[in-house]
Structure 1
């Protein structure tokens, strides 16, 4: 049996999220209720029946705060209100109340590593070196050589301050200086304000970047790059665990109800993940790491490599085994920052339905809390972007222009964007086969995928063999079977060229998962002895798995 953990609200016993499923909504692309082409809060509320039917326990919504939208809301200009694009604060209150009435929780996305440069804090900080908020951001008379995650330098000169400010992302997103205790207390006040309003927790954006090496040393410059790779100075920084423990004391320990704190910790290691999620340390309940969604990256994100099931198996198993005795895993394939998993690790052509089901099965039956991103449940795919003019993602647009200026062929760059661009996960939700995919009656802010006429919720809702029905069965299984929620994890083979196989074991029984990650039949070999017991998922049998077949046996 897994060790007993202490939940966020200070309760003794297994965390309530073990048997929960989280559904992420990207508000801009989920449902548009007023016909302006942009999703909104009323659109989310009008589709809660869909989430309840699926069996979702927690709704996580990406930022809806007021913002200039330089990075689609991840550049916040006011943490205490709702951007008019999405609706009103009253409508958010109504959404919270309706979710609670249905027995679901709401997790807000909180961006606390940086703000918008239009936030009043930065306006003050940039006005004068004598201003009271002069040290709320990172300022230097001369910048170091760091590059931004979104291309270009990580420093921009400010005339009003006559100094440079740090921005690890766009220049519209200056980094907060968490070394300043006033900054930390201001963030904690924001969190308490939303929790008092009824929110049930937060997904903390890039939270493992909040602590930087205060010396801000120059970074090594990789071959072919203009700027230094600052990762060693900003990832899992020297005081990040101290800051998160303080956050827990100042915020979460003050509430006696079921809350959830999830941290996005891109590029973190298993060893750091253990620290972040160790219940005794009281920092985070789980982390969203990147290792399993970077196996098709070469030297950097846009250097696209072929899918390798061995690399995937190694990384997933490492996190399963690494957090087996301490902490808890998040389980996800897609989110607003990732392309569609069926197009990456599956087959979005002939075997789309089969591979979408397999990917869902493998994800949901590991040890951890599954995160379903809007559209996962119907097997949405990447978008066939024809030119850079069709792309909105600031990261992709910046890279395109930088790469073309450096001499790369535009079509080669577009091929990388079609594979990895974040807009793949941001095209509108495909509700039906109407011109606006049921997302909007107007012109959508980002083009609808042309395949929405075939891939949509309406087409799959009444089909017991659909991807949608398969997701519903997996969610029900997690709710009903303690093996899924609380069983341990054992990898059954670390070398099969096509198959990812593992066992979940609990005092109530065992589940064995066999998944063929290929479009060819897979001879199970020694794994064939695992094909016994009740077939919970799948329709085949025998020592050979069909293309993209996943089977689950209960013993």
Structure 2
């Protein structure tokens, strides 16, 4: 399939490129940057939600699934962008958010209006709440005073969860997918898809010894996979090469893997690796080995719109380490996902005042902390979970006007970093698609592995390392002194080397 060797590029639209100067990125801005994206070498674009939304959760609270928010443009703008992308051999996948809708969605407004409304059962209503907690903090139940019942929201109270046990909901969502398929999109990224069903008995969740709630009865419930399989089979009957990727709200590889087999998603985001908080080579190697054992192609990423940028989080602003991580991600059998600005080493945006915070998760954290610390300390702590860190506006020119959010600082080494990414993407195109990964070894801070005919050496350490191979190889990328017989290489500190079998 086309996606097996593709490099994906995530675009968080509001922060990507502003074409009309209103402070918000938009679809026309993306279209204008297609030549740049083509030059980078990426082959597929993933667009975060652009649907009409009150933006309580920055667009992941959708009020109309089959339209474009006026902030981003019109459906005609989207069609023009899609045509331009396809002319440039770029695939386009879009985010779909089917676990919940905005409480301003017409479906929810109808559902909340009366217990007898035909759409009442499109959402989850209860006379009494369980102890389930929202993933954004606090109770996952909100009292609706018109009918004096509680509705369930696994995220913000403005994001009401759909009732996927209702066949009318399943049919309505399929019609949404059909709408975008008819327009010509090439795939879908399914948001928090393992949250779709909840325990029919509405049992309280247990608590861990730490006091944190164990989400036992509100995610990964029986029956969810049959619902998803049915949905995926329907869209693949319409377009067989459509790409489907799942976001699973878990960093457990066994749970993630359950959603990529037996006719389910083509792949799923591997947060077991992608969301590590600091560079731990042992953990990275162990998780890499486990992912290699999986049947399908895993995803490789170190950045997204939900986490601190890897330049700050993992590389600690060290361009040599940053390059090693890029090699690992791109020269592998998995499917790499870059996040906008990553190819230039974009830095974290850190708000200096609570009034500059846009992320609902960070705002909630800040308010919770005020009872035990002052405002300055509360902001520092809130910024540690603040998803705004990766959502700063990209800077395309010297213009410094503020947008809907502050700017992501540019990396002074950005041009050199971009050149490295371009070389690696081109290498992936010429040598891939990759098949088998073998020989994963970590020794003295040097990670080495083999992908088909390529030998990769990533020396994260402070000392030169020597690697010996069974087959003679020649250098195709990186820094290393190969022996005269081609069967060993000496790699300097914080350097990479990629060799290819001579035979």
Give the alignment's TM-score, normalised by structure 1: 0.85
In the aligned structure 2, how far is the partner of 1:231 from the partner of 1:71?
21
Aligned pairs for 1:440-459 within 5 A? 442-449=401-408, 451-452=409-410, 454=412
Of structures 1 and 2, the one with the larger relative CO (CA 8 A, separation 6+) is: 1
SS, match of residue 522 in structure 1:
coil
Listed as ranges, the matches of 1:451-470 within 5 Å are: 451-452=409-410, 454=412, 460=415, 466-470=416-420
Listed one character per residue, the Cα deviations across residues 261-319 of structure 1 (whole Å, up to 9, x for unaligned) are 111112153334443223xx2211110131113433xxxxxxxxx54221122122211
Q: Of 272, 285, 289, which residue of structure 2 is paired with 1:313?
A: 285
Once the two structures are TM-superposed, the CA of residue 476 in structure 1 deviates from its matched residue by 1.3
Is 2:434 aligned against 1:486? yes
Residue in structure 2 matched with residue 540 of structure 1 by the alignment: 480
How far off is 1:528 after superposition? 4.9
Q: Contact 1:286/1:328 (CA < 8 Å) preserved in 2?
A: yes
For residue 389 of structure 1, the aligned residue among 342, 347, 355 is 355
Q: 1:431 to 1:174 in 2, by over 3 A?
A: same
Q: CA deviation at 1:69?
A: 0.5
Deviations 1:26-64 (A, max 9, x none): 000000001011100110000000111112211110000
Does 2:43 correspond to 1:57?
A: yes
- The one of 499, 504, 507 equivalent to 2:451 is 504
Q: Match of 2:154, SS?
A: coil
Aligned residues of 1:309 and 1:497 also touching (Cα < 8 A): no
The verdict on how the C-alpha distance between 1:111 and 1:179 changes in structure 2, with shifts beyond 3 A counting, is same
Match of 1:400 in 2: 366
Q: Where does 1:184-263 land on structure 2 (aligned, <5 Å)?
A: 184-222=170-208, 229-256=213-240, 258-263=241-246
Would the alpha carbon gap of residues 467 and 412 (structure 1) be closer, same or farther in structure 2, given more than 3 Å must change? same
1:357–1:267 distance in 2 versus 1, CA, 3 Å: same
Say what the alpha-carbon RMSD is for the aligned residues: 2.1
Describe the superposition over 1:313-366 as per-residue Cα deviations: whole angstroms up to 9, x where unpaired: 212221122x1xx22211111111121012111121xx2x22221111011112
Per-residue CA deviations over 1:1-43 (Å, capped at 9, x if unaligned) read xxxxxxxxxxxxxx22111111110000000001011100110
Cα deviation digits, residues 394-419 of structure 1 (max 9, x gap): 111111221232x2565555444444
TM-score by length of 2: 0.93
What corresponds to 1:8 in structure 2? none
* Equivalent of residue 292 in structure 1, options 261, 268, 273: 273
User: Aligned equivalents of 1:157 and 1:206: distance in 2?
Assistant: 24
What is the aligned counterpart of 1:97 among 83, 86, 89? 83
Tell me what 1:516 maps to.
459
4+ runs of 1 displaced by more than 6 Å?
none
Question: How far apart are 1:453 and its partner, in Å?
Answer: 7.1
Distance 1:401-1:547 versus aligned 2 partners, 3 A rule: farther
1:107-146 counterparts in 2 under 5 A?
107-146=93-132
Counterpart in 2 of 1:370?
336
Number of aligned residues: 495
Corresponding position of 1:553:
499
Q: 1:541 to 1:307 in 2, by over 3 A?
A: same
Match of 1:475 in 2: 425
Say which SS state the counterpart of residue 537 (structure 1) adopts: strand
